[in-house]
Amino acid sequence: MTINLGTDGISSTTDPTTWQTVWTGTGNYLALDIYSEDGYLHEGTYTACATGGAINPGEFGIGWDPGDLWGIGMVFENWGTCWWDVANGAATINQKVTEGTVTVTRKGSKWVIELVSGEGKGMLWTKYEGAIDALTDPALGGGGNVDDTDYVELTNLLSATSNVANGTKSLTLNLGTDGISSTTDPATWQTVWEGEGNYLALDIYSEDGKLYTGTYNASAVGGTINAGEFGIGWDPGDLWGIGMVFENWGTCWWNVAGGAAVAAGKVTDGTVQVLVEGTDLVIKLKSTLVNAKFTYPVAQFVDGTGAPIEVVNLGGGEEPEFEGTELSVLLSATSNVANGTNSVTINLAEEGISSTQDPTTWQTTWEGEGHYLALDVYSADGKLAPGTYTACATGGTIAEGEFGIGWDPGDLWGIGMVFENWGTCWWAVADGAAVAEAKVLDGTLTVAVDGDTYTITLESSAVNARYVGPMTL
């Protein structure tokens, strides 16, 4: 197989009449030939083949010059694995790769492809991390079905306390990175910390002092945790009128160093997922502040007295599949900020859907059959920020933290042309045309960003849909 992997900001198109490649941007790309018997990528370490054009199992193809390969008077150069410079609309050879190793590993639904060739100043070292769906065996999953989140790993149960006996239906968990610990001075109630790292203070709903598997959403108000919620970070202030101001209660992220803990931030959004995987309890926090994952034996999940806190497994231990339509095609992403509107418009489609626009008539022609989601989201800078967005109240008016509902502008500019189905709408595509099926008028839109991968999830009464993939704005 042949894979071309480029630095950020470069792209290429092929002129269908001349078969010439036209490049945009400035940077580099790696053309990589690697052995595959079945057309799919496989994990392993690949070494350089001995002869250009002859690739055996466990090898990658070195860069080589085939010459006049078919005796037609056309000389070919720089085939196989080569490193290229891109500038001024063209690519020029930098070097052929004739030695070294290519390491291919799997990370969630992403591939990590690392090339190391040469030594010293002449070393070429490249690394790609991302999804390559076309070269991925469907049996491996991916395309949004695997959790690719980069978590801070928490392995240390600092404390677990039920607050039910005190009249509050919650558990308070302090979950730390490896190597930190704390003790409390009984005379002063001051906590002394040892080691360096982080810990997550987590308040999570519990009716009876047990921890139930499932997904918990951020509470709306600090200090008030309802069923299915975790308590956001908040500052109670002088809670009891005793002249003592309290800060950073609830779910907060802490830095530990120099014998003390300092709050790094309050967690005010996102989700907490509680799972049982084998014999381990797994708690995953995904938020705009931090993504953290706690893994710990269920049998050792105890409170400060050593009494076990029961973990009730309601879901079997695997992440639940998304119940909705999976969108895998980014049709377009446009910032409206330059036009005076604080929003971005994004069109996301099911596999096999594409569109072209006639520049003379502005008519759009569609190919394939399925659905696409037209989505308007608030943005002050033309970027799509992670977070949870709620439906705006009025069509065409999108405030911070909102997505634009579907609406009919009508004869917007008094020109005798009636506009319909603007904003966030769900469209059906068939027979070369798109027809609006529903306006989205409620629900939530969640945006998560992990490296170059965006996860955009819409949950509404009209449709549930999710996109996982790259986004360029």
For residues 40 and 108, state if they share a domain: yes
What integer is the mean pLDDT of 105-117? Answer: 87
pLDDT digits (tens, 9 = 90+) for 315-348: 644 445 578 899 999 999 999 998 889 999 999 9
Provide the pLDDT confidence category of residue 416 given band limits of 50, 70 and 90: confident
Question: Minimal CA–CA distance to 5: which of 98, 108, 77, 104?
Answer: 104
Tokens of 108: 């969630």
For residues 355 and 444, state if they share a domain: yes
Question: What's at 183, amino acid-wise?
Answer: T
For residues 252 and 332, state if they share a domain: no
pLDDT digits (tens, 9 = 90+) for 157-196: 999 999 999 999 999 999 999 999 988 887 887 888 999 9
Q: Please indicate, yes or no, if residue 358 is contained in any of the structural domains.
A: yes
Three-class secondary structure of residue 423 per DSSP: coil
Q: Please indicate, yes or no, if residue 97 is contained in any of the structural domains.
A: yes
Residues 451 and 424: their CA atoms lie apart, in Å, by: 26
- Give the chain's mean pLDDT: 90
Instruction: List, as one string, the DSSP characters of 404-419.
Output: EBPB--BSTTSSS--B
Domain end point (choices 140, 173, 189): 140
Helix (H) or strand (E) holding 7: none
For residues 245 and 348, state if they share a domain: no
pLDDT of residue 74: 87
For residues 159 and 111, state if they share a domain: no
Q: Note whether 253 and 198 are within 8 A (CB).
A: yes
Q: Note whether 344 and 382 are within 8 A (CB).
A: yes
Residue 470 has phi, psi (to 5 degrees) of: -75, 160
For residues 133 and 263, state if they share a domain: no
pLDDT digits (tens, 9 = 90+) for 262-301: 999 999 999 999 998 888 899 999 999 999 999 999 989 9
Which residues span the domain enclosing 29? 2-140
pLDDT digits (tens, 9 = 90+) for 241-270: 888 889 999 999 999 999 999 999 999 999
Provide the pLDDT confidence category of residue 359 given band limits of 50, 70 and 90: confident
For residues 126 and 187, state if they share a domain: no
Helix (H) or strand (E) holding 61: strand 59-61
Q: Please indicate, yes or no, if residue 318 is contained in any of the structural domains.
A: no
For residues 340 and 463, state if they share a domain: yes
For residues 288 and 409, state if they share a domain: no
Q: Please indicate, yes or no, if residue 319 is contained in any of the structural domains.
A: no
pTM: 0.47
Question: What's at 289, amino acid-wise?
Answer: L
Q: Please indicate, yes or no, if residue 320 is contained in any of the structural domains.
A: no
pLDDT digits (tens, 9 = 90+) for 48-84: 999 999 999 999 999 999 998 888 888 999 999 999 9
Q: Please indicate, yes or no, if residue 317 is contained in any of the structural domains.
A: no
* Tally of domains in the chain: 3
Question: What's at 381, amino acid-wise?
Answer: D
Q: Note whether 253 and 272 are within 8 A (CB).
A: no
For residues 329 and 302, state if they share a domain: no
Question: What's at 101, amino acid-wise?
Answer: T
Domain end point (choices 247, 279, 312): 312
Q: Please indicate, yes or no, if residue 25 is contained in any of the structural domains.
A: yes
**Which of the two residues, 113 and 74, has the higher pLDDT score?**
113
For residues 308 and 425, state if they share a domain: no
Domain end point (choices 257, 283, 312): 312
Q: Please indicate, yes or no, if residue 146 is contained in any of the structural domains.
A: no
